[in-house]
Structure 1
Amino acid sequence: MGEGRFERYDRYERALVDVLNLLNLAAPPAPSGDERKDPRARRHWQCSVALMIMREAVPPQPEEMFEPLMLAAVYEPDPSHTQRHIRPALAAFGRRRVQTRLLKYLRTGTNYEIIGAADAWYCTYLRVTGSDTGDDPSTDLRHAFQETGLRICLANDHPGVRSRIITLLNLRLEDNPPELRPLVSEVLRIVRAHPDNAIVDRHRGAG
């Protein structure tokens, strides 16, 4: 996806350390030497730090924390752990700002960042105590995500990108505004030829 695993780990870990520093937390000893080449050792460290952040990053938080927290969310290697970064981001900065930043990653990011931003977008609908996530429906941003996702699927044939984005789109023509329906029809043609039966079944009957 343009970067090797360890290059992505480096970016992710720098973001984690930036967040820890802003929280005035000391990181556990990081893998060094030959352990830096061991993905399991590095993932153990990353998971430990991500949990520290989720537990300690309660609002209010300094403005400087926003970008490294979002970068950590996008670069989190395991989508089931993405919420460890999105939860504190939602609590401290609100859903609208978080989603707006993710849309930028979707529009301008690498393939890896697009997939990570899609995983993070899914987590932005979590309810987080003390945040605006229960009050702001962000309908305009939902529309922006739908349009952005449709255009990504049509312009980017990377299988990982398409598979991830397609699972988040509403491909029922009647649920989309008239200006998006031609895009939906084009994406449906891609879906119906998709090799993953689960994706085909998910959108069976759409159109």
Structure 2
Amino acid sequence: MGESRFERYDRYERSLVDVLNLLNLAAPLAPSGDERNDPQARRSWQCTVAWMIMRETVPPQPEELFEPLMLAAVYEPDPSHTQRLIRPALAAFGRRRVQTRLLEYLRTGTDYEIIGAADAWYCTYQRVTGSDTENDPCTDLRHAFQATGLRIFLANDHPGVRSRISTLLNLRADDNPPELRPLVSEVLSIVRPA
């Protein structure tokens, strides 16, 4: 994917610390020395910080929190933990803003960022009390995701990108607008070769 796991961990950890600083929370002691090379020690620290963020982030939040929180969500290495960062982003900034930013990551990101943005996109459909996520279904953004996802799948042959994107696409031709049906057919020919 171009970056080593530890390079991605470094980037993820920097974004977590940025979020903690903006929330005026003290970071727990991070792994140092030999522990920096131990994936389990680093993941334990990352998960602890992500839980702190999820518990503390309630609206309203400063504007400066948005980008570090989104970066942390995209760089979260475990898709099952992404919701810990997306939930507070949805509560503080709303589904429309979060999904719009994720679409930008999908369109311009590295392979790793595309995969992370797809994981985060999946989490944006959860209900979050006290935010506009309940009121705005963002149907236009769902359509934009479908079109973007189909194009990414066809243009990017990275197996991780294709695998993650394909699970989020609606590949029923009749459910897609006429202009996307040829793309759906192309994707299906790759997913289900003859």
**TM-score for both structures, normalised by structure 1:** 0.93
Is residue 109 from structure 1 mapped to residue 106 from structure 2 by the alignment? no
Is residue 141 from structure 1 mapped to residue 138 from structure 2 by the alignment? no
The residue correspondences of 1:1-207 to structure 2 (distance < 5 A) are 1-193=1-193
Question: How far apart, CA to CA, are the structure 2 residues paired with 1:124 and 1:193?
Answer: 31
| SS of aligned partner of 2:27 | coil
| SS of aligned partner of 1:2 | coil
| SS of aligned partner of 2:132 | coil
Letter in 2 for 1:29: L
Letter in 2 for 1:134: E
Question: How far apart, CA to CA, are the structure 2 residues paired with 1:104 and 1:10?
Answer: 22
Letter in 2 for 1:70: M
* CA shift for structure 1 position 193: 3.0
CA RMSD of aligned residues (A): 0.9
Partner of 1:197: none
* CA shift for structure 1 position 120: 0.2
Moved over 4 A (4+): none
Question: How far apart, CA to CA, are the structure 1 residues paired with 2:147 and 2:80?
Answer: 25
Question: How far apart, CA to CA, are the structure 2 residues paired with 1:24 and 1:134?
Answer: 28
Identity of aligned residues (%): 87
* CA shift for structure 1 position 24: 0.6
